[in-house]
Amino acid sequence: MFGNFLIGLREGLEASLVVCILVAYLVKTGNRRQLRPLWAGVAIAVAVSLAFGALLQFGSSTLTFQAKEALGGTLSVLSVALVTWMVFWMRRTARHLKSELQDKLDAALALGTGALVVTSFFAVGREGLETSLFIWTAVQATDDGIRPLVGALLGLAASVVLGWLFYKGALRINLAKFFRWTGAMLVVVAAGVLAYGIHDLQEADLLPGLHSLAFDISTTIPPDSWYGTLLKGVFNFQPDPTVLQVIVWSLYLAPVMAFFLAPERARSTAQPQAVGAPTAK
């Protein structure tokens, strides 16, 4: 549940920041009349994301066991790739996200209403599709459709509140540090999702080694115990992983975490700055 809360919070906060920056910029530049197409693009992005999640859920229910495992494993690997790209992208762009969005908005305003709808749609839609995919894979990994969804919804709700506070100018935090440390936690969560995806592909007979266990501590950490459930919900922990799962988990987590936490060269000369959305006047 915590992992999905983190996904909902981080992805939702990205979307909320994008929206509040776009709205504040339109208000400050005297383009209030363009708020309606902006919100239309946001609404379409949310609807497409929900439809994508529903398609994954209901479409996979008609598949055979092996086909479902193959789909789940493939999408788990894809979602890990997307989340990994997302955390590195936000780590690199958090400092100049505001100016980048304003440049895109200026170009959209010059082209007309349709361009503004498309700009807001793509600005929010990417996070929405990533969230839907990652939550779906988390649901498959935990075999629990309630807690992952509740965790994600709580994270999204918190991100909306934070976005509103940014817009009102009541909250200022160092976004670079925020996305850095939440990104590090997401790398750990993604490693667990990747390991589970490998297990799905093994059950689909697409990868070997399904019965070659690295260890089995099911008696020490029963999967149905409260702590076993907690570890599975947060880290996708499995008490009896295969050798291939452990190898892939290690080969992903160690280098990605080391590279992600390594200081950027540009930061040696730049001082961290608190970032907040401009207040509408």
Q: How confident is the model at residue 272, as a pLDDT? A: 43
Q: Number of helices (H) and strands (E), helices first, in the chain?
A: 9, 0
pTM: 0.67
Strand locations in 74-195 (E): none
Looking at residue 248, its pLDDT comes to 95
User: By the 8 A CB rule, do 125 and 49 touch?
Assistant: yes
Kindly give the confidence (pLDDT) of every residue in the chain, 281 residues in length, as a single tens digit, with 9 standing for 90 and above. 666 777 777 777 777 877 877 787 778 777 788 788 888 888 998 898 888 888 877 777 777 888 888 888 898 888 888 888 878 877 776 666 667 666 777 777 776 777 778 877 877 787 777 778 877 776 666 665 577 677 778 888 888 888 788 777 655 666 667 777 778 888 888 888 899 889 999 999 999 999 999 999 988 988 777 677 667 766 778 889 999 999 999 999 999 999 988 876 544 444 444 444 444 44
For residues 275 and 174, the answer to whether their CB atoms sit within 8 Å is yes
What pLDDT is attached to residue 203? 92
The confidence score (pLDDT) of residue 265 equals: 58
Contact partners, residue 205, CB within 8 Å, separation at least 6: 66
pLDDT score of 144: 59
DSSP 107: H
Q: What is the DSSP string of 62-124?
A: TS-HHHHHHHHHHHHHHHHHHHHHHHHHHHHHGGGHHHHHHHHHHHHHHH-HHHHHHHHHHHH
